[in-house]
């Protein structure tokens, strides 16, 4: 009985094991793997999906594009798939090897032995999942074998399916949210419960305000004006009166020129205040002039003498007393009471010869070691600063009308566009102030765009002349 029970337990165990043992199809569910070799190097490797064929040729839709191989068509199926089973198709011009359970056979041997069936211009050899090998197609070598498919990546869950837990609630945030919602709801309810505001009409305004606003003040009565007899006649006769003849205007003096006016003003300034007092002749002066402050010594009366001196218009000297010259004969010192304004008179006119000089500035060529484009840009920038150099020459030309000549400068242009090492090579004008002014202008020149390297400008001339 014990032996019979043991046999039953063993049979049950074998039955359970058979139920959980995977089938042959699940274990051998392999896919085709190919590798392409060219010139001894693997250039491509692919895993062919199940139930998919492998085509080679010149067609762009081929699985492996191979050029220069003699194939029956542009899209030749090298590994055909019929009913889930692969077969190797090859021509007489292809060679290779296939590994089987019985050994390794060449493609030519498979064709001669009849293992590979002939179909038109090529042969077809059925493959199993244990076969592997290589096929030479033109300059390419195709390796093949069957491998297990790679595991599929696990799908990510679209959402979190964890159970709800009270411990994960943020009670502080929930409380603040509840209080805020409660306050906003109460405010909205209170606003909606209020009646709309009543519109005011004229009847709602108190009577006292109505009187103030509505009542209009009566306009004042017009004043009656009475005209006396005789006044109207006088008013009518007034326009008829003969107008008085307008006084004849004195002939206007001839307009003086700018030079005459300048000379007259200089003469008036010299005859005013201290200048008039200092310009007297001395102790021998006449009664019309103030005593000489330097020779006569007015002592305490000097303040009174200055106080009694007249202004610019009154203190003008007469034509007979103008200039620094000796006075007329007389004895005794002049008294303070005799100091007064000089009599009026007409001064003589002084005409000044008007000379107008026109400054001219010219430039020449200089030695600039750079590209033609940079030379053109440098000359253009130098011309923009010619106005400042000409201004230096015009200032010196006022003091020396015969000033002319040439000033030659040299300087370097840095890569930031600034000038350095400015100096004067030659100055034929002989004017040091003009030379310093030109150097100041040259140092302020800024070149934009700046040169890529340091550029030396040697012998840039400024030529000055006046007409």
Give the residue extent of every domain in the chain.
Answer: 31-147, 359-466
- Cα–Cα distance measured from residue 436 to residue 442, given in angstroms and rounded to the nearest whole number: 10
Q: Within a 10 A sphere around the Cβ of 369, how many other Cβ atoms?
A: 12
What region does 320 belong to: left with phi over 0, alpha with psi -120 to 50, or beta? alpha
pLDDT-based confidence at 374, cuts 50/70/90?
confident
Widest distance between CA atoms in the chain: 188
pTM for this structure?
0.31
Instruction: Tell me which of 1.10.357, 3.30.1150, 3.90.1580, 3.40.50 is the CATH number of domain 359-466.
Output: 3.30.1150
3-class state of residue 252 by DSSP: coil
Long-range Cβ pairs for the range 107-114 (8 Å, 24+): 107/135
Supply the DSSP symbol for 332. Answer: S
For residue 32, give both structure tokens.
């085709």
- For the cut 50, the answer to whether the pLDDT of residue 342 exceeds it is no
- Cα–Cα distance measured from residue 291 to residue 115, given in angstroms and rounded to the nearest whole number: 156
H or E, element range at 13:
helix 2-20
Q: Does domain 31-147 have CATH number 2.60.200.20?
A: yes
H or E, element range at 31:
strand 31-38
Note the pLDDT tens digit of each residue in 46-97: 999 888 999 999 899 999 898 888 888 899 999 999 888 899 999 888 889 9
Q: What is the pLDDT of residue 259?
A: 66
DSSP 185-224: HHHHHHHHHSPPPPPP-GGGS-HHHHHHHH--PPPPPPPP
pLDDT-based confidence at 22, cuts 50/70/90?
very low
Note the pLDDT tens digit of each residue in 291-334: 444 444 444 444 444 444 444 444 444 444 444 444 444 444 44
Long-range Cβ pairs for the range 194-201 (8 Å, 24+): none
Q: Within a 10 A sphere around the Cβ of 47, how many other Cβ atoms?
A: 11
Q: How far is CA 377 from the centre of its chain?
A: 23
pLDDT-based confidence at 461, cuts 50/70/90?
very high
- For the cut 60, the answer to whether the pLDDT of residue 250 exceeds it is no
**Among candidate residues 6, 53, 63, the one with its CA nearest the CA of residue 31:** 53
Matching CATH topology for 31-147 and 359-466? no
């Amino acid at each position: 009985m014990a032996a019979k029970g043991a046999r039953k337990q063993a049979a049950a165990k074998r039955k359970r094991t058979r139920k959980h043992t995977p089938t042959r199809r699940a274990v051998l569910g392999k896919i085709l793997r190919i590798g392409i070799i060219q010139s001894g190097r693997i250039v491509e490797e692919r895993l062919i999906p199940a139930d998919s064929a492998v085509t080679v040729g010149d067609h762009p839709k081929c699985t492996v594009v191979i050029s220069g191989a003699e194939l029956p068509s542009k899209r030749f199926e090298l590994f055909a798939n019929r009913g889930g089973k692969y077969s190797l198709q090859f021509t007489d011009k292809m060679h290779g090897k296939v590994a089987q359970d019985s050994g390794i056979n060449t493609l030519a041997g498979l064709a001669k032995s009849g293992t590979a069936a002939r179909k038109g211009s090529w042969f077809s050899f059925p493959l199993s999942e244990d076969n592997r090998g290589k096929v030479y197609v033109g300059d390419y070598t195709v390796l093949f074998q069957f491998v297990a498919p790679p595991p599929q990546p696990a799908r990510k869950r679209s959402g979190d399916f964890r159970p709800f837990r009270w411990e994960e609630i943020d009670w502080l945030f929930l409380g603040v949210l509840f209080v805020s919602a409660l306050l906003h709801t109460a405010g909205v309810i209170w606003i909606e419960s209020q009646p709309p505001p009543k519109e005011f009409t004229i009847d709602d305004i108190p009577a006292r305000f109505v009187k103030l606003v509505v009542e209009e003040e009566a306009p004042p009565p017009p004043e009656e004006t009475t005209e006396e007899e005789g006044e109207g006649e006088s008013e009518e006769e007034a326009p008829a009166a003969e107008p008085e003849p307008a006084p004849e205007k004195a002939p206007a003096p001839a307009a003086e020129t700018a030079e005459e006016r300048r000379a007259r003003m200089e003469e008036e300034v010299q005859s005013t205040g201290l200048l008039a007092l200092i310009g007297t002749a001395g102790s021998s002066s006449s009664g019309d002039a103030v005593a000489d402050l330097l020779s006569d010594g007015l002592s305490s009366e000097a303040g009174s003498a200055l106080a009694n001196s007249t202004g610019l218009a009154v203190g003008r000297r007469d034509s007979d007393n103008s200039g620094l010259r000796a006075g007329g004969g007389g004895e005794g010192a002049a008294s303070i009471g005799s100091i007064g304004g000089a009599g009026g008179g007409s001064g003589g006119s002084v005409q000044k010869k008007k000379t107008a000089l026109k400054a001219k500035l010219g430039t020449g060529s200089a030695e600039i070691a750079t590209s033609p484009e940079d030379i053109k840009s440098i000359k253009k920038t130098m011309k923009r600063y010619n106005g400042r150099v000409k201004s230096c020459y015009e200032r010196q030309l006022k003091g020396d009308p015969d000033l002319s000549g040439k000033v030659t400068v040299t300087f370097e242009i840095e890569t930031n566009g600034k000038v350095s090492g400015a100096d004067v090579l030659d100055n034929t004008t002989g004017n040091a102030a003009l030379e310093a002014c030109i150097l100041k202008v040259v140092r302020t020149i800024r070149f934009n765009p700046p040169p890529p390297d340091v550029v030396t400008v040697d012998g840039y001339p400024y030529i000055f002349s006046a007409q």
